[in-house]
Structure 1
Amino acid sequence: MGRYEVLALDLDGTLLNDDGRVSARTARAIQQVADTGAIVALCSGRSTACMTHVEDQLGVDVHMVSYNGALGLTRRADGRKPLFRRPVPRHHIETLVQFADDNGLVLNYYDEHQIHVKPTTAEHDELIERYRKQCSAVFNVVDDYARVSHVVPCKIVALTHQTAAVTKQLEDLFAGQMQVIRGEYFVECLAPGVHKGAGLQGLCEHWQIPRERVVAFGDGLNDIEYLQYAGLGIAMANAYPETKSAASRVTLYDNVNDGVAHELEGMLEKGLFGPTTTFP
């Protein structure tokens, strides 16, 4: 068995416990992986700005795939340069904004530093606050999304408790012209073909690292393609059933009980991580 050269980590429900923190044990295991020379990459649906505090908790300089695969970035040491960017098609943005208005939804409209929202109900306020607490996001309230129409976001998110119905409506509306991903209390809209698997692939192809040398951890429905791309895709014990089915194996412990650390410690004992020959 060859060594793994890339460790890819989802955040919410995987790397982070239910308090949104990285445990000391998990951080130590990831630091040990980095010490082997392997690349560590955080791969999340979050914006880049909402990922950097997790990097700080790890104490490891990581590569990032953010916005569910729409943006790939190098390490801080390399200037956090973009490797690829796949924004929402501009001609679909107005359609999405009109859909939200017609259906009484609030949208997260992203730029690189904050999220623009136009809440009009108490439910909108509650959903925004929930998202803020989960992701440490910075919000800017606008009275019209037209005020930020100059921004072409990497993704737009509809916050809703009716995720199944809204997902179906958006899939019907765009008929394959947008990537629609269902979350726990939100539905994400991205450019067609954009997902975390494509983002991880973009990162690996940049460094010419074969997928067989990649191990990835995840738990969500948005992690299915990403786990399938990796040579070793590991689903968390707390993952969705569909995600577990897509994985090579499932952790014994969940995100609250250091599931990632348990797996990494066993792999480190076997010497299964090592440096890539293609990374400068």
Structure 2
Amino acid sequence: MDQHLIALDLDGTTLNNQSKLTNETIITLRALARDGHIVSIITGRPYRIAKHIYDEIGIKTPMVNFNGALTHIPHEHWDKEYDVELTRELALDLLAHRKELGIKTITVENKHHVWANQASNDLPEFLPNKLRDDQILTATNLTSNPIAMTIKYEPEHQEEIIKAVNEKYGDFVEPRVWGGPYNILELIHRGTHKESGMFYIAKQYQIDRQNIIAFGDEHNDLEMLDAAGRGVAMHNAIPELKSIANDVTPIDNEHNGLAKYLRDYFKVTI
């Protein structure tokens, strides 16, 4: 079979409901990498909370973080690495107006650093629950432009925050509301989605669109699955994603649905 790019969302797709990789998934992905396919994680997660998953799989291929705003090869200097930044001004502006906008926590990140106005125990994996003094979000500590911002807000203020961001920064900032039970808004550079990172990786390896297979389960996977040669929604995916996908896995993420689908599709024996 021709070399494929296998584009993998993490949460709800490659990971089970405990946010873990199973042995079956690891063995399957390693076998595909050994066969010459490019296995790439394409996630909304920051690098700091995706690195251990990349290392556990044991791949050496490019990875996409922040929904397409960072593409790099972990642990390597890759001359094709790129990021798409926001501005320091935006972060400090939101920080200054957080009370009137009903913002509880602002988390600001780039590849290797995270800053926040306060620690949070609400989502310990995604929002830092401990901060060093130099990680507290201030004009002094934030010395460079961030790649992504995550805002936890009072639910009744959602539209107000989006309106404030769009009015002042809408020409280059895109607010996206997290799905599920969380009152979280993510800010990334306008037009930056997972599919931009996916196509960038495909270009580096000269892989045609029809040889890109992408897997996902949530709203932030829509563009990627729609653009891939073969977009596969997980059995547990939202209906909107299933409606645009080329296929749906028969089994969900909690029962190795991704690994089983890949083994059948690529005829991998483990």
| TM-score of the aligned structures, taking structure 1 as reference length | 0.82
Decide which of 146, 158, 179 is 1:153's aligned counterpart: 146
State the match for 1:278 in structure 2: none
Q: For residue 54 of structure 1, what is the aligned residue in structure 2? A: 53
Structure 2 unaligned spans of 5+: none
- Aligned residue number for residue 255 of structure 1: 253
User: Where do residues 8-23 of structure 1 align in structure 2 (5 Å cutoff)?
Assistant: 8-23=7-22
Letter in structure 2 aligned against 1:6: L
Determine if contact 2:195/2:227 at 8 Å carries over to the other structure.
yes
Range with bigger deviation, 84-93 or 49-58:
84-93
Name 2:163's counterpart in structure 1. 169
Aligned amino acid, residue 51 of structure 2: T
Give CA deviations for 1:43-72 in whole Å, capped at 9, x if unaligned.
111111211100122133232011110111
Secondary structure in structure 1 of the residue aligned to 2:125: helix
Secondary structure at 2:25's aligned position in 1?
helix
Summarize deviations over 1:125-169 as a string: whole Å, max 9, x none. 6xx334323588875465543233312111111124639646743
CA 1:166/1:64 → structure 2, altered by over 3 Å: closer, same or farther? farther
Does the 8 A contact of 2:70 with 2:111 survive in 1?
no
3-state SS in 2 of match to 1:14: helix
Equivalent residues of 2:234, 2:253 under 8 A apart:
yes
| Amino acid in the other structure paired with 2:202 | C
Q: Extract unaligned runs of 5+ from structure 1.
A: 120-124, 272-280
Are 1:178 and 2:177 counterparts? Answer: no
Q: Hey, what does 2:216 align to over in structure 1?
A: 218
- Checking the alignment, whether the CA contact within 8 Å between 1:227 and 1:234 is kept in structure 2 is yes
Deviation at 1:35, TM superposition (A): 1.4
1:117 equivalent in structure 2: 116
- Is the CA contact (8 Å cut-off) linking 1:83 and 1:203 kept in structure 2? no
| Local SS of the residue matching 2:121 | helix
Please say which of residues 135-144 and 19-28 is displaced more in the overlay: 135-144
Amino acid across the alignment from 2:112: H
Q: Secondary structure at the match of 1:180?
A: strand
Alignment equivalent of 2:121, drawn from 126, 129, 148: 129
- Which amino acid in 1 is paired with 2:123? Y
Judged with a 3 Å threshold, the aligned counterparts in structure 2 of structure 1 residues 57 and 161 are, in CA distance, closer, same or farther, namely farther
Whether the aligned pair in 2 keeps the contact of 1:6 and 1:215 (CA below 8 Å) is: yes
Contact map agreement 1:9 1:218 (CA 8 A) in 2: yes
Higher helix share: 1
- Residue type of the alignment partner of 2:33: A
SS of structure 2 residue aligned to 1:131: coil
Q: Secondary structure at the match of 2:63?
A: strand
- 1:8 is displaced (CA, Å) by 0.8
What is the alpha-carbon distance in structure 2 between the residues aligned to residue 190 and residue 47 of structure 1? 12
Cα pair 2:88 2:144 within 8 Å, conserved: no
Q: Quick one: distance in 2 between partners of 1:176 and 1:140?
A: 33
Counterpart-to-counterpart distance in 2, 1:132 and 1:82: 32
RMSD of aligned residue pairs (Cα, Å): 2.7
Separation in 1 of the partners of 2:143 and 2:61? 30
Change (3 A) 1:11 1:244: same
Letter in 1 for 2:252: D
